[in-house]
Amino acid sequence: MWNSLYTAGESGPEGGVILRDEEYMNACRITLERCGTHYAVTCGIYGAFCHTAYCGDTDHLQKYENMKQELQAFLRRDTTAEDEIVFYESFAAKY
């Protein structure tokens, strides 16, 4: 289950205003922020991976939810070090 972090309205990692900020299994975090004319979705798997995707007014919520689902599915699997690298590269290329 994703847990909401109480940071809405604060400054986000890309310098915008945080709209949503959630953590999963004490292992992953994802943040949605409004940055002037665009939105940023920043996510990370603690100690291993960090990525920021940029989006517009029409796709920011869908991109945020899609990224959350993929991160959750990845963290629930048993993986090898090679599997992890493949996931990080493909996730970053997709988003």
5 contact partners, CB below 8 Å, separation of at least 6: 21, 22, 23, 29
Q: How many structural domains compose the chain?
A: 1
Cα 46 from Cα 57, distance rounded (Å) = 28
Residue corresponding to tokens 């986000």: 12
Q: E strand or H helix at 42, and its extent?
A: strand 38-45
Cα 88 from Cα 12, distance rounded (Å) = 22
Longest dimension (CA), the chain: 40
Per-residue pLDDT of the chain (95 residues; tens, 9 = 90+): 999 998 889 999 999 999 999 999 999 999 999 999 999 999 999 999 999 999 999 999 999 999 999 999 999 999 999 999 999 999 999 99
Cα 81 from Cα 30, distance rounded (Å) = 22
pTM of the model: 0.93
- Identify the domain containing residue 64 by its residue range: 2-94
Cα 38 from Cα 49, distance rounded (Å) = 23
